[in-house]
Amino acid sequence: MTNEFNTLKLVQLGIDTQKEFVVFMRRDCHICKSEGFEAHNRVLVTVKEKSIIATLYIITDGILKVGKAGLSNSAWIQLNAVEGDKISFAHVQPVASMGCVRSKMYGQELNKIAFQNIINDIVKGEYSNIEIASFITACAGDNLNIQEIIALTEAMVDSGQKLNWINKIVVDKHCVGGLPGNRTTPIIVAIVAEAGLTIPKTSSRAITSPAGTADTLETMTSVNLDIQTIKKVVEKENGCFVWGGSIKLSPADDILIRIERALDIDGEGQMIASVLSKKSAAGSTHVVIDIPIGKTAKVRTEEDAEKLKYYFTVVGKALSLEVKVLLTDGSQPIGRGIGPALEAMDVLSVLRNEKEAPQDLRNKSLLIAGSIIDLANNQKNGNGYLSAERILSSGRAYEKFMAICKAQGGFKEPVLGPFKTDIHAEKSGIVVEIDNRRLAKIAKLAGAPHDPKAGVLLHTPLKTRITKGDILFCIYAETKGELNYAIEYLKKEQDIILIQ
Amino acid sequence: MTNEFNTLKLVQLGIDTQKEFVVFMRRDCHICKSEGFEAHNRVLVTVKEKSIIATLYIITDGILKVGKAGLSNSAWIQLNAVEGDKISFAHVQPVASMGCVRSKMYGQELNKIAFQNIINDIVKGEYSNIEIASFITACAGDNLNIQEIIALTEAMVDSGQKLNWINKIVVDKHCVGGLPGNRTTPIIVAIVAEAGLTIPKTSSRAITSPAGTADTLETMTSVNLDIQTIKKVVEKENGCFVWGGSIKLSPADDILIRIERALDIDGEGQMIASVLSKKSAAGSTHVVIDIPIGKTAKVRTEEDAEKLKYYFTVVGKALSLEVKVLLTDGSQPIGRGIGPALEAMDVLSVLRNEKEAPQDLRNKSLLIAGSIIDLANNQKNGNGYLSAERILSSGRAYEKFMAICKAQGGFKEPVLGPFKTDIHAEKSGIVVEIDNRRLAKIAKLAGAPHDPKAGVLLHTPLKTRITKGDILFCIYAETKGELNYAIEYLKKEQDIILIQ
């Protein structure tokens, strides 16, 4: 029921607020006044019979003319808005399922229906960010029992699409709290697929790091596949490497994870639900979970890791997933390149069995691939590692990798940016410390991951003996300006590679 | 340490995001790229050596030119920003006191220092809205024990300024969950001050209603006083009526309450801390709390009210506050006017002992004023009500009211808007239901509380016998356009006053 009286006309403002829907109105707008709207209110907005709930921000200056309203980019897309469209407004009732969140605050156990209602409302965009934060907090700590974690996981699986496979056994892997440059996935997929197992792998892009697995793979093949293409690739080659964002598995997870990250909360229950819901929706049956333990890793003690291991196993079983948990060394980064193309080169170097290939990356890939093979064969300590080693050394993993790339649209050799500078040692000695955080920052200043050819190549791992003037690392960039940003930053910084 | 490399120049965008600090940057800005900033990140921004933590929104369209950044109005004011100022950016570490919030999620008891750290960080603006939502959720339900409620209340008192008074006894009142038109405060202050008690009353403005107590009082006198003026007024006349926003008592409360309202969470612990921290900071010693019980009031059952009563009393005692709790009838609105000037007229009508004065408003004011007098005299069932009645009936309350107004800068008679329309009954019968929500909406469409002369005057309370053509209510407005908004809305609505 819209009429001139309670509508405004839309103008495009181009404001990115991530997944949160935001509507912008003028302070002196008659609708704001009559409805008593104020900044941060939740408002039901309707454009051409499509409605969403959005958070209201008030414009007090000249950005909006009288009679106009704006939307955040996500809301604009969601409503298929066109410049000049009429937009109408109404108050919203509080979301009904927030009642369940309130019950949880009072310590009540939630059942499956409660979690389904909450998750469905979150996926529909009916929760504001602060309501999501409230839900996450109410479920954090030890507040979810194992039945509730199972119910939450199932609700998250049900909220999106699910993949089905002909093969009875479908394998997958996941690493809890990734280390820099830890690009085992392409190698593992190639080995495991060559071993005859089905592994339809989805990966994420970088959010704050210089490269995600999907960014790395994209320098060699296309990762943006729809479900039909994924099916074809996997039917032909047993495996694939795809950007998870191109298909909608467990969409609630993407929304929750963003707020969890902002809150720096990583409740066990939600982490397990997050990981296993993606795996279950992807149609996996056997999953290896890698938990690196280390002081800069996500899991810091063996005790915490054992508890997580227990939860992963029990919740996995409830979802008909066979889960095997590996506790690994998380004290050092893995590989030498930082940035999509450079990390891809590390991967190819291992697959091609080159002499200078980073051995840490090779060993870890074999360990996980071997575990997957054993798990699928229902063997506790089988010969999975040996099989994996044989497949990799023989070059068959490399051939499989190339075949998958071909099926996904073709392989291309990763290329580095044309602008390069070498950073030399100012004294002699031994490398005793490497500041990965600042190396990552240099890679980002040089353009990674947006410019996939940009990044940092580390020449001197820990314990390398250095002579003054040796190259410590190289910086690559796609433009001279970006290379300069990185160099300018570097001028102010010291001891990124500490030599003693 | 700012230089051209990591600074942008500020432009004013005029975006009101309430208390939340927001910074706007372009998607293609080199700082966003190098720092890996994305929408919703928390960013430390610095302008002229003043820093705040702000939430980042990304501009993808033409609002910002290359090299420019914008701020929300609250951040602009906080940083004393001027168009063209340089602004620099840095990543922020997670707020340390969020660690305490996480402990609370795990069910640990927080001590006074923990609450002080959290509340101080919130007041400094270091918590994002989602972090505040997380804190509120972690403390909601039964999650705070009485020691924690006391510690939270004390931390909130300590976070702002405190008022001191010469008199040993300083009284105050508070209503939990106000009813429409419930303007007892001006009447109570006049009676109690005339009775010789010190009552430095602060009140709030409307947020979503057509009038707050401060808005109502502002149609008769100025309410925007600084602490020195308040002191002078109270020394001279024993009482005052001031807008609480003009002084900073318990500033944390203003921030928390906004998020609680948005979440529709009203945890007992926080509600008690909210009310009593304001009273303690105002220097009160004796406080009467009015808890209306009714199906549309905040407190719905006698049982809930009794529990609240217990908490108010015990926490009050820990803060050296004598608290008396009244449980009152919350089933009907009180008074006839809706809108600042109209509600002021109700107040004056009672103070002037006019025959047509709303008796419900008169009675409730006497009840509370009497309780305050008894409480201050340490009497359980004293003659406070009789004293109050005598002071009001004799005209002495009116004289005191005028004297306080004079001390605050002078009294003026409230004036109604020049545009008026009468709404007539379309049939005969008896008024069986009044939709206060829609009446309030009409008052807001007509301009209240922004235009204090606008509003709705109800002629026919419940059970009035009506003849077709009788006036049901009048609408007042300051402009013809606003009157038309209200009338246009009314055309589509039916049975706002239900006659049978």
A262 vs B contacts (CB less than 8 Å): 40-42, 128, 130
Residue A11's H or E segment, with its range, is strand A7-16
Q: What is the mean pLDDT of residues A357-383?
A: 93
In terms of Cβ atoms closer than 10 Å to its own Cβ (0-12, 13-18, 19+), residue A168 is: exposed
Residue of A nearest to B484 (CA): A5
pLDDT interval class at A480 (50, 70, 90): confident
Measured in whole angstroms, the distance separating CA A62 from the mean position of its chain's CA atoms is 38
CATH class of the domain whose range is B171-247+262-407: alpha beta
According to the model, what pLDDT value does residue B19 have? 77
pLDDT interval class at A257 (50, 70, 90): confident
A58 vs B contacts (CB less than 8 Å): 15-17
Do residue B18 and residue A39 have CB atoms under 8 angstroms apart? yes
Task: Look up the CATH number of domain B4-91.
Answer: 2.40.40.20
pLDDT, averaged per 10 consecutive residues of chain B (500 residues), comes to 68 85 87 75 89 88 86 92 91 82 92 96 90 94 91 94 91 79 89 97 80 93 93 96 84 86 80 92 95 77 91 95 92 83 97 94 96 92 93 98 97 96 95 83 87 93 92 93 86 88
> CB of B40 within 8 A of CB of A263?
no
Length of chain A: 500
Do residue B128 and residue A61 have CB atoms under 8 angstroms apart? no
Question: CA of B339, closest CA in chain A: separation in Å?
Answer: 13
Residue A341's H or E segment, with its range, is helix A340-351
**Do B98-157 and B171-247+262-407 show the same overall fold?**
no
**E strands, B223-293, in order:** 239-243, 286-293
Residue of A nearest to B93 (CA): A264
How far apart are the C-alpha atoms of B299 and B268, rounded to whole Å?
A: 11
Tokens of B181: 């038109």
Residue among B13, B20, B101, B137 with most chain A CBs within 10 A, to mutate = B137
A20 vs B contacts (CB less than 8 Å): 40
A107 vs B contacts (CB less than 8 Å): 141-142
Do residue B265 and residue A63 have CB atoms under 8 angstroms apart? no
Q: 3-state DSSP call for residue B72?
A: strand
Tokens 């002229």 correspond to what residue? Answer: B48
**E strands, B248-381, in order:** 286-293, 322-329, 337-338
According to the model, what pLDDT value does residue A95 have? 82
According to the model, what pLDDT value does residue B247 have? 83
Residue of A nearest to B36 (CA): A208
How far apart are the C-alpha atoms of A157 and A123, rounded to whole Å?
A: 12
CA A61, A63, A69, A71 dihedral sign is negative
Residue among B25, B66, B130 with most chain A CBs within 10 A, to mutate = B130
Do residue B130 and residue A61 have CB atoms under 8 angstroms apart? no
How far apart are the C-alpha atoms of B108 and B241, rounded to whole Å?
A: 42
Q: 3-state DSSP call for residue B80?
A: coil
Q: Is the peptide bond before A449 cis (omega within 30 degrees of 0)?
A: yes
How far apart are the C-alpha atoms of A179 and A275, rounded to whole Å?
A: 17
Which among B57, B130, B142 has CB closest to A16?
Answer: B57
Do residue A133 and residue B133 have CB atoms under 8 angstroms apart? yes
How far apart are the C-alpha atoms of B28 and B37, rounded to whole Å?
A: 11
Q: Are strands A465-466 and A22-26 parallel, antiparallel or unpaired?
A: unpaired
Q: What is chain A's Cα-based Rg?
A: 25
ipTM: 0.79
- Quick one: angle between helices A146-158 and A268-281, nearest 10? 40
> CB of A101 within 8 A of CB of A131?
yes
Tokens 């107590």 correspond to what residue? Answer: B213
According to the model, what pLDDT value does residue A244 have? 85
Which among B107, B136, B140 has CB closest to A141?
Answer: B107
Least confident range from A63-67, A176-180, A232-236, B43-47: namely: A176-180
> CB of A423 within 8 A of CB of A473?
yes
Residue among B25, B263, B307, B475 with most chain A CBs within 10 A, to mutate = B263
Catalytic residues of A: 266
Do residue B141 and residue A258 have CB atoms under 8 angstroms apart? no
3.30.870.10, 3.60.20.10, 1.20.970.10, 3.40.190.10: CATH of A98-158 = 1.20.970.10
Q: Are strands A50-59 and A22-26 parallel, antiparallel or unpaired?
A: parallel
- Residue among A27, A21, A72 nearest A44 (CA): A21
How far apart are the C-alpha atoms of B6 and A489, rounded to whole Å?
A: 10
Q: Tell me the sheet residues that pair with A243.
A: A203
A134 vs B contacts (CB less than 8 Å): 133-134, 136-137, 263, 265
Q: 3-state DSSP call for residue B53?
A: strand
Which among A61, A94, A207 has CB closest to B14?
Answer: A61
Q: In what order do the strands lie in the sheet with A465-466?
A: A465-466, A429-434, A497-499
How far apart are the C-alpha atoms of B323 and A294, rounded to whole Å?
A: 54
Give the C-alpha distances (Å, rounded to integers) separating A339 from A136, A207, A278, A452, A490.
32, 13, 26, 7, 17
Residue A133: how many CA atoms within 13 Å on its side-chain side? Answer: 27
Which residue would you say has higher pLDDT here, B94 or A274? A274
> CB of A180 within 8 A of CB of A338?
yes
Q: 3-state DSSP call for residue A357?
A: coil
How far apart are the C-alpha atoms of B214 and B408, rounded to whole Å?
A: 13
pLDDT interval class at A180 (50, 70, 90): low
Which among B24, B40, B57 has CB closest to A262?
Answer: B40
Q: Which amino acid is at A61?
A: D
Q: Which amino acid is at A169?
A: I
A60 vs B contacts (CB less than 8 Å): 14-16, 73
How far apart are the C-alpha atoms of B366 and B362, rounded to whole Å?
A: 6
According to the model, what pLDDT value does residue B485 have? 82
Residue B129: how many CA atoms within 13 Å on its side-chain side? Answer: 24
Residue of A nearest to B42 (CA): A262
Q: Beta-carbon neighbour count of residue A108 at 10 Å? A: 12
Tokens of B492: 């589509």
Q: Which amino acid is at A15?
A: I
Classify domain A419-499 at the CATH superfamily level.
Pyrimidine nucleoside phosphorylase-like, C-terminal domain (3.90.1170.30)
pLDDT interval class at A37 (50, 70, 90): confident
How far apart are the C-alpha atoms of A299 and A305, rounded to whole Å?
A: 6
Do residue A134 and residue B136 have CB atoms under 8 angstroms apart? yes
Question: How many interchain CB pairs under 8 A, A with B?
Answer: 188
Q: Where along chain A do its domains lie?
A: 4-91, 98-158, 171-407, 419-499
Residue B295 gets the label, from left (phi > 0), alpha (psi -120 to 50) or beta, of alpha
pLDDT mean across residues, chain A: 89
In terms of Cβ atoms closer than 10 Å to its own Cβ (0-12, 13-18, 19+), residue B491 is: exposed
How far apart are the C-alpha atoms of B449 and A386, rounded to whole Å?
A: 78
For A32-74, the DSSP string reads HHHHT--TT-EEEEEETTEEEEEEEEEE-STTS-TTEEEEEHH
B209 vs A contacts (CB less than 8 Å): 36
- Residue among B4, B49, B39, B42 nearest B21 (CA): B42
Q: Beta-carbon neighbour count of residue B202 at 10 Å? A: 25
> CB of A485 within 8 A of CB of B35?
no
Which residue would you say has higher pLDDT here, A330 or B402? B402
Longest dimension (CA), chain B: 77
Q: Beta-carbon neighbour count of residue B333 at 10 Å? A: 21
Do residue A447 and residue B33 have CB atoms under 8 angstroms apart? yes
Question: CA of A30, closest CA in chain B: separation in Å?
Answer: 8
Which DSSP symbol is given to A198? B
Do residue B445 and residue A33 have CB atoms under 8 angstroms apart? yes
B14 vs A contacts (CB less than 8 Å): 59-63
Do residue B57 and residue A15 have CB atoms under 8 angstroms apart? yes
Do residue A107 and residue B134 have CB atoms under 8 angstroms apart? no
Residue of A nearest to B18 (CA): A39
Helix count and strand count (H, E) for chain B = 18, 19
- Catalytic entry in B85, B172, B253, B266: B266
Q: In what order do the strands lie in the sheet with A419-424?
A: A337-338, A455-458, A471-477, A419-424
Residue B201's H or E segment, with its range, is strand B199-203
Residue among B10, B23, B40, B139 with most chain A CBs within 10 A, to mutate = B40
How far apart are the C-alpha atoms of B185 and B218, rounded to whole Å?
A: 13
Helix count and strand count (H, E) for chain A = 18, 18
Do residue A18 and residue B39 have CB atoms under 8 angstroms apart? yes
Q: Beta-carbon neighbour count of residue A124 at 10 Å? A: 12
Give the C-alpha distances (Å, rounded to integers) separating B123 from B90, B157, B351.
21, 12, 40
How far apart are the C-alpha atoms of A426 and A25, rounded to whole Å?
A: 57
Tokens of A198: 């089905």
Q: 3-state DSSP call for residue B343?
A: helix
How far apart are the C-alpha atoms of A436 and B432, rounded to whole Å?
A: 73
- In sequence order, the 6+-apart residues with CB closer than 8 A to the CB of B405 are B220, B221, B411
- Residue among B194, B147, B205, B149 nearest B171 (CA): B194
Q: Is the peptide bond before B449 cis (omega within 30 degrees of 0)?
A: yes
A17 vs B contacts (CB less than 8 Å): 39-40, 57-58
> CB of B262 within 8 A of CB of A42?
yes
Question: CA of A417, closest CA in chain B: separation in Å?
Answer: 17
Write out pLDDT tens, residues A402-422.
999 999 999 999 999 999 999
According to the model, what pLDDT value does residue B424 have? 95
Do residue B34 and residue A445 have CB atoms under 8 angstroms apart? yes
How far apart are the C-alpha atoms of B370 and B389, rounded to whole Å?
A: 8
Does CATH number 3.30.300.30 belong to domain A171-407?
no
B482 vs A contacts (CB less than 8 Å): 30
Task: Look up the CATH number of domain B98-157.
Answer: 1.20.970.10
Question: CA of A295, closest CA in chain B: separation in Å?
Answer: 17
